Structure 1
């Protein structure tokens, strides 16, 4: 199974012992998601900003992200305002990025 196939699956529960991805693995996974996602090495996270026409559309997106995150059991940091939303993903338990972060990035993109 390659990285692209992995991202079509569901998040795996973090039950201790989940290892963070290596820099090479992160680089490989970054090539499989939308290029609008940014890797933030200092925060060991990935982030993407979204813009919307108005507050209503922003809130619809935020609520869809929340529902998807609950279903996946993997929750991003979300910041939003009138016509924007920023989504940041990391796996706190692993103290870095895991496959779950890239799975959720793909699923967030599918909500747009």
Structure 2
């Protein structure tokens, strides 16, 4: 079960890091730049730990898919970026894909 916790931490680290990229202003602002580096280090470390038990394709699909959705939601809330119906539908499909993989795929270890 720890592998799913590791994957969740990896996703959170990636979302924090990617969200801080905009605030780093091209790595010209120190604190957001440090957040970016720390977030990506955390993300890749915990992703590597999760890959000990989760197949790489499954882990990466979940990590990338949820990362995209969470960064988009964060950008919508925090940076005021607009989402249209197609973006919302696409994100719903990503989440649905992650759910289908976790519930029905035999390649996902539970």
TM-score (norm 2): 0.26
Bigger Rg over Cα: 2
Structure (1/2) with the larger strand percentage: 1
Higher relative contact order (CA 8 A, sep 6+): 1
TM-score (norm 1): 0.25
Structure (1/2) with the larger helix percentage: 2
